């Protein structure tokens, strides 16, 4: 087998309650967590569409994906690759739930003839990736990953493999989610997944569930030699990824974090690194009792109590489900740029029953960037980890 190709990250775009655009997002990650619900209040889709009618025919999740893809591709500069070798591997956990809920009400109140003919293409989970492909003329592989909260981490891992193995030269990858509709919120609330205190407190002893959010992040991945040849700004490199299944329970993690542990080990192995090469971890860290405990145990088993610094940016952002992995990969890449690791907002009281690991709290941590892992673990027992490295 020929040597696999290297993969650079050359463009980024983000819409998040922590901030829209890279500068605002980074500032938000290093600030106090927002008060109350974690909606994106300042997002305007219209600048990213040719006209308001076109925007109205897209679910909010697709609007956010289109926006971050436009940001990321502009950031990447002029791509030299054949459009037939430029793909889109995108992710969402749920799809167009807000549109579906709205159209159910239309059907109930006004009758079947008033249901929008655009409903089906608006609710399809693959709609964001398809819209990006069509808008920017990307004719290579166009596929959608829907593995719950691990989806966009899996998407980035798969996109990387397409480039490594020579099936594509450029892949636009990331994730989007917007399910903060009344029924969506009620469903998560009634399964006791959401915080009853209205706070995101990853790894804190008083954590009581996650804060739902919405948002999107898009990364432009390019074969390394091509990126260098055209003088692209390189944020970092995707070294490898891991994917496992707990095969345990539809929502609860495997006891002891064994699935998460195997996933992290596979990602490190795929990257050609040793465990002690990992310089930081962006944890899944949702603020739910079982998931945080399982991830902490997995981190402790892998690294010991004196391992690399670990943070959960969900203390600020809340949990964006299928978009979370892409948002957090973006946070890691900005950590490389700024040489700081954002703190775990919301963490106040250590949990005496939690396994020992090195959590970043009480403000940003200055560091010398090195290979870093980002974790995403989803309902269904889906586990995803990617390893990113700073630019040379």
Catalytic residues: 149, 284, 319
Outline where the chain has alpha helix (H). 22-29, 52-56, 60-76, 97-110, 119-123, 127-136, 151-164, 182-190, 224-229, 258-270, 289-303, 314-317, 324-338
d(CA 221, CA 12): 10
Contact 330, 14 (CB under 8 A): yes
Sign for the pseudo-dihedral over CA of 166, 332, 27, 188:
positive
Contact 383, 326 (CB under 8 A): no
Of 11, 112, 110, 121, nearest to 57 by C-alpha is 121
Of 359, 329, 328, nearest to 344 by C-alpha is 359
Contact 325, 376 (CB under 8 A): yes
| Three-state DSSP state, 198 | coil
> Any idea how long the chain is?
392
Compute CA distances 207 → 156, 197, 293, 363, 387, whole Å: 29, 9, 11, 20, 27
> 372-378 and 280-282: which strand pairing?
parallel
Token digits for 381?
């027992």
């Amino acid at each position: 087998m020929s040597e696999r190709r290297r993969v650079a990250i050359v463009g980024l775009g983000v819409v998040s309650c922590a901030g829209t655009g890279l500068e605002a997002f980074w500032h938000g990650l290093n600030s106090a967590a927002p008060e109350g619900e974690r909606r994106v209040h300042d997002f305007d889709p219209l600048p990213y569409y040719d006209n308001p009618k076109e925007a109205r025919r897209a679910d909010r999740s697709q609007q956010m994906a289109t926006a971050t893809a436009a940001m990321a591709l502009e950031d990447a500069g002029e791509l030299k690759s054949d459009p037939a070798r430029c793909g889109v591997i995108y992710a969402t956990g749920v799809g167009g739930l807000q549109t579906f809920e709205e159209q159910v009400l239309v059907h109930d109140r006004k009758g079947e003839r008033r249901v929008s003919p655009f409903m089906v293409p608006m609710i399809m989970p693959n709609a964001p990736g398809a819209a990006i492909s069509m808008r920017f003329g990307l004719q290579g592989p166009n596929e959608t990953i829907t593995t719950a909260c691990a989806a966009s981490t899996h998407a980035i891992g798969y996109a990387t493999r397409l480039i490594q193995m020579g099936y594509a030269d450029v892949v636009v990858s990331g994730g989007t989610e917007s399910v903060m509709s009344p029924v969506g919120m009620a469903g998560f609330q009634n399964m006791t997944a959401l915080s009853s205190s209205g706070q995101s407190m990853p790894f804190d002893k008083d954590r009581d569930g996650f804060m739902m959010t919405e948002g999107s992040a898009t990364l432009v991945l390019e074969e390394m030699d091509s990126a260098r040849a055209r003088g692209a700004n390189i944020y970092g490199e995707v070294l490898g990824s891991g994917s496992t299944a707990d095969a345990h329970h539809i929502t609860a993690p495997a006891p002891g974090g064994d699935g998460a542990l195997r996933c992290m080990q596979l990602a490190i192995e795929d990257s050609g690194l040793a465990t002690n090469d990992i310089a930081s971890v962006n944890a899944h860290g949702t603020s739910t009792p079982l998931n945080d405990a399982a991830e902490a145990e997995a981190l402790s088993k892998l690294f010991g109590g004196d391992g690399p610094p670990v943070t959960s940016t969900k203390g600020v952002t809340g949990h964006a489900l299928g978009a979370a992995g892409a948002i957090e990969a973006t946070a890691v890449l900005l950590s490389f740029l700024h040489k700081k690791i954002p703190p775990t907002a919301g963490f106040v009281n250590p949990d005496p029953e939690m396994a020992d690991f090195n959590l970043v709290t009480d403000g940003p941590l200055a560091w010398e960037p090195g290979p870093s892992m980002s974790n995403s673990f989803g309902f269904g027992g889906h586990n995803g980890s990617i390893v990113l490295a700073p630019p040379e």
